[in-house]
Structure 1
Amino acid sequence: MEEDEFDYESLGANSTMGQNAIAGALAGIGEHCLMFPVDSIKTRMQVLATSETGVTTAKSVSAAANDLVRPGWLQSQKNLWRGVYSVVMGAGPAHALHFATYEFCKDAFGKYITIDPATSTATQENLRQLTVSGAAGACATFAHDALMTPFDVIKQRMQLKDSTYRSVRECARSVYAKEGLTAFYISFPTTLYMSIPFQSVQFATYEYCLGILNPAGQYNPKSHVVAGAIAGVLASSVTTPLDVIKTLLQTRGTSSDPRIRNCSGFWDAAKIIGGRYGYQGFFRGFKPRVLTHMPSTAISWSVYEYFKWFLSKDNDKPVSNS
């Protein structure tokens, strides 16, 4: 057997927790930074118009994009990337914790959720794999969101059209001074409501597609890209309504509309959105959200799998049969 022909799926067991964390951190930074401008467009489309001022929100991707780039090239670059440092600061450690938790839980759950190989069928094995991946993804999501939510709040505050914040520190200090610590975590329950199904669907879909595209279990970058893209599209599509609610909660402090500003939580935000826009309001920003997550999930998994392979490949040489 040639040296580079080894079972890639064995990497999860052979790579260390530190290697998984480093690979996850690099994946998270790469994913969020590369797709940040599209994420800015999504945020501006999701923010609700106020009733007391003339502030309006873009109704289409092109309108939101034009709003960002209209001031001129230099200013448009600042608009497109405003808030990206908050993502860099949060995404690295949050994704490191995310992927490390996922690998640990997947290995732990895999030992307890078992079926008899002598009587098992392909359907039962697929179901077991989906259950293990989905449960591990849910655990990883909780750990990730607990760390990332405050950074996400700062990011969205800086992405808004009327934002005057010049730095992450300035934004964080202002939000804390005006709204207290609650502002950084008021969206946390909603974030979990969205992220747990999102990540469970994403991880389960990714593992399922990978099993079809790469049944041999060898390192194959194309299979990670395709499986990641499919997982990103499906997961982002079904969780867009929850993302709209999360955006309202995270940006409520910037609104001059007293109904939005005093929004108390998930159900209150849902009533505001539904009352003003009907069911269509829960799909504001759907296109840029999908356009963000399709490539970003593909990028995230590809970068993660590559660095996990790169960092652990010295420990994964084939075992001699002799």
Structure 2
Amino acid sequence: MKRIILLLSTTILLCSCNKSENTTDNNTNDEILNDSIKVSNSFSIEEIPFVTNEIGDFPFFSLPENIVEMNKPLIRDFDVIYFPIKDQYLPIEGKVYKANIRGTREVPFSQHYFIKSFEDYLTSIGAVKVFDGKLTKENYENRKENDPNIGDEGDIGYGDEAVKCFVIRTKDKGNIYVQFSADNASGKLNILQEGKLNQTIKKISADDIVKDLNEKGKSILYINFDLDKSNVTSDGKEIINQISEALKKDNSLKISIEGHTDNSGDGNHNKKLSNDRANSVMNNLIEVGIDKNRLSAKGFGAENPLFANDSEENKAKNRRVELIKL
């Protein structure tokens, strides 16, 4: 009997030790996880109280004294930035400010001064710190696949990068997200005022084309073609149908169809491609019943850009078809 009691006591003792060791291991694992970001659904903006202080207008605050932007900041009315918020790493959309930061010639950059200035100021206006730690390589890999601005001015979000993130919740200006990071040579600052896309795309109508031709003498259209070819896509044919309707509304209208490209690639190839595309539009119009004598077509390649070919956005605007009233 004594032997059985002894065995039971030993078993209980061993189980207690194992439970204690497992608890310690779990606590250690939790501490490790708290130093990085996991993706979950635990954060709610409702947790953040509204600020009562006036916060100014976008981008809402100046840089500290003797701290300046290194280059021209990236400022856009609508874009996306990834922010670390508690145990999540979230893409937030809205109005964007992103900048690399440095000291002046007279006063070198101070990492401590930069970070403390922002922490103290943001806390003073009622901002809530939602992250203070290091990002993981997994965070970067996920962002790399989805962030169109990765590597641009003021970009934050690399593996092992120490980041601080604050949220300012207002009743009149919405939710504002601020994150910054720094080393002993320079810093980075991101500010985003959360907002929805103001949709400016609209379906091209025959009335729009007629109005542009009569008032401006030309109508600028973005007709979709197969990649590096002159074949019109189904979306492009919808626009061509509207051109046809416009010409049928006014039988006196005669137009020149002019094709344009951006400056990417070989110039001679671009000129031929733009010419083929202009003629493709003309042939499609003839097929739906427009008199050939009312039409002409020519390609100009990259000779007459609407905008400087200095960004993908501007290049896209230069890839166009223009209808010129004759």
Q: Which has the larger helix fraction?
A: 1
TM-score normalized with structure 1 length: 0.20
Larger relative CO (CA 8 A, sep 6+): 1 or 2?
1
Structure label with greater radius of gyration: 2
Q: Which has the larger strand fraction?
A: 2
